Amino acid sequence: MRARDRWATIVALAACDAALLLLGTAIAFWLRFSAGGWPGPTEGGGVTLSFLLLGAALSLAVMAGGGLYRLDDLFAGHREYAGVARACTYAAFTVLLTAFLLDSQLSRGALVLWWACSAVSVACGRFVFRRAVFRIRRAGRLVRRALIVGCDEHAVAIARRLSAPASGWQVLGFLDDYHAIGTPVTNGLRVVGDPKHAVQLAAAYGASDLVLVPHAVSWEAQRDLLELAATRDQPALRLAPGFYHLLATGARPMEANFVPLLTLQRLRITGVDAALKKVIDVGASLAALPALGALAGALALAGGGPVIERQRALGLHARPFDLLVLAPPRGPRPDGGTRRWRLRDAAARSRLSKLPNVVNVLRGHMSLVGPRALPASAPLRDQPWTRTLLLVRPGLTGPHLPNSAWSAAEQSILDVAYVREYSLWLDLRLLVASVLRVLRRERALPAAYHAPAVEPARTEASTS
C-alpha cells in the first residue's frame, strides 16, 4: 500500500469519525433540550453542550491512542467496534468527573444520550467505511503486497486466505529453502527465490511484507529473517502462527527482563460467555422446532424414502454423536421429475438440510455456531489440528469457507480463529449471515469435514 493511500485512508476515517461524533452530539442535545418529553429542567444547555463537545474530542483522542487509526489492525473482526464503544465510555466518564470537579451544571441525561448516540453512530459509520474499503480493495487499491516465506501445506493455506479479493493483501509468491525457483505452488503462484535473498526479492517484486511460516523453513532462514526484522523497517516481517495456530486460545505478548514471551490464555468460551451462548442455543433451537416439524412432515408426505440421514461425527472431547441431515430422495428420478421429488431434492441440497441438527443442539452435542463437525473416520482423526476442534462443540453454522473445494487446513484456520476471537456479537453476525445465505438459496456445504479435503496440500509443488 502506498504511503499516500495509507494517509488518505487515515484522514478520511478520522474525518468520518469526527463528523459522526458531532452528529451524535447534536442528536443527544436535541433529544434532551428540544424534543420535549424528557424529564428535568431545560436550562444549562450551553454548559452541557460544551461538555458534550469535550466528550467528542476526548473520544477521538482515545480512539487514536487505542490504535483505531492503525490500519494494520482495522477492517477485520469485531474489536474495532468494541474499541469505539470503549472510547466513548472513557470519554463520558472523563466528562462526568470533570463536571463534578468544576461543580458545573451538566445534564446527566444528555451525557447518557450522547454516549449512546455517539457510540452507535461511529460504529455504524465504521461499518459503512469498512464496506467502502472492501470495494476499493477489489479494485486493486489499498492492498499490501506480500511474499510468503515457507512452502508447506500451512503456508499454502495462508496464501489462499490472504488472496481473497477483499482481504487487503496480494500474495506475489513464495520464498523457500527446499523447492527450486519457478516451482508452481498454487493458483498461479510460484517459488520466486530463497529466504536468504528476502530483502532483494521484496524490492524487486514491490513487496512491503514478508509473511514467515516458521516451521516451513530452516532454522538458519528463521534466524536471518529475525535479525532482518530487528534492523530494518521494510519489508515488514509478519510471523504466521506455527504450533500456536493449533491452540484454540488467545496469546498475549509480555516481556520478562527483555525476553519476549507469549502468554497463552484460557479458552474463550467459558464462564459467562458459555452460559450466554447456551441461552441463545436453546432459545433459538426451541423456536426452530415447529419449522423443523413442518418441513419434516412435508418431506415425509412427498415420499422417496427416509427423511433423515445420519452421519457419525465427533463432538466435544471426541464424544461420538449422529449428525442429522435431510436425506435426498431414494430411487430413480421419475420422467420429468415430479413436484414431490423436486421438493425432496431441493431440500437436501439447500442449507436447510442441516436444520434437523437443532435436536443435537438441544441434546448438548452441538451449538448453533461453531467449527464444522469432524466425522468419526480414522484419516481425519490423525490430523494434528483435529485435537483443537474437539475442545468445543461443533456448530450448525460457523465461519465456513465459500465452497467445499478448499482444503481442510484452510477451514481449520477459520475454525480455530473463531474460538480464539469468540464473542456474542460474532455469533450473532454469523447467524445473520447464515440466514441470508438461506434466503439467497445458496447451496449447502457439507455438515462435516470430508475425507478428500484432508489430503496433503493439493499443489503442483507437493508432487514434484
Q: Is residue 246 scored above 80 in pLDDT?
A: no
Q: What does the pLDDT average to over 320-342? A: 74
153 and 122 co-located in one domain: no
Q: What does the pLDDT average to over 316-339? A: 76
User: What pLDDT does 260 receive?
Assistant: 62
295 and 219 co-located in one domain: no
204 and 322 co-located in one domain: no
Asked if the bond preceding 235 is cis, omega within 30° of 0, the reply is yes
**In this structure, is residue 282 part of a structural domain?**
yes
Confidence of residue 271 (pLDDT cuts 50, 70, 90): confident
Q: How many CA atoms lie within 13 A of 193 on its CB side?
A: 14
The candidate with the shortest Cα–Cα distance to 78, out of 117, 123, 120, 118, is: 123
**In this structure, is residue 406 part of a structural domain?**
yes
Distances (CA, A) of 414 to 77, 211, 305, 452: 12, 18, 36, 18
CA-CA distance, 203 to 236, in Å (whole number)?
12
Q: 153 in the Ramachandran plot: left (φ > 0), alpha (ψ -120 to 50) or beta?
A: alpha
Lowest-pLDDT range of 234-248, 353-367, 432-446: 234-248
153 and 64 co-located in one domain: no
Residues 6+ apart with CB under 8 A from 65: none
Q: Is residue 316 scored above 60 in pLDDT?
A: yes
pTM of the model: 0.64
Sign of CA dihedral 36, 38, 43, 46: negative
107 and 168 co-located in one domain: no
User: What pLDDT does 173 receive?
Assistant: 93
pLDDT tens-digit profile of 64-74?
999 899 888 78
Q: For the residues of 153-184, what is the DSSP string, one character each?
A: HHHHHHHHHHTSTTSSEEEEEEE-SSS-TT-E
Decide which of 218, 240, 262 is a domain's last residue.
240
**In this structure, is residue 245 part of a structural domain?**
no
Mean pLDDT of the chain, nearest integer:
81
- Contact 305/330 with Cβ under 8 angstroms? yes
Sheet strand arrangement including 308-314: 320-326, 308-314, 374-375
Q: Is residue 460 scored above 80 in pLDDT?
A: no
45 and 80 co-located in one domain: yes
Q: Which domain holds residue 376?
A: 271-454
Q: What does the pLDDT average to over 93-112? A: 90
**Domain at 205, CATH number:** 3.40.50.720
pLDDT tens-digit profile of 225-236?
888 777 766 788
442 and 293 co-located in one domain: yes
Confidence of residue 99 (pLDDT cuts 50, 70, 90): very high
CA-CA distance, 276 to 268, in Å (whole number)?
13
Decide which of 240, 260, 281 is a domain's last residue.
240
**In this structure, is residue 153 part of a structural domain?**
yes
Tell which wins on pLDDT, 454 or 316.
316
399 and 304 co-located in one domain: yes
290 and 428 co-located in one domain: yes
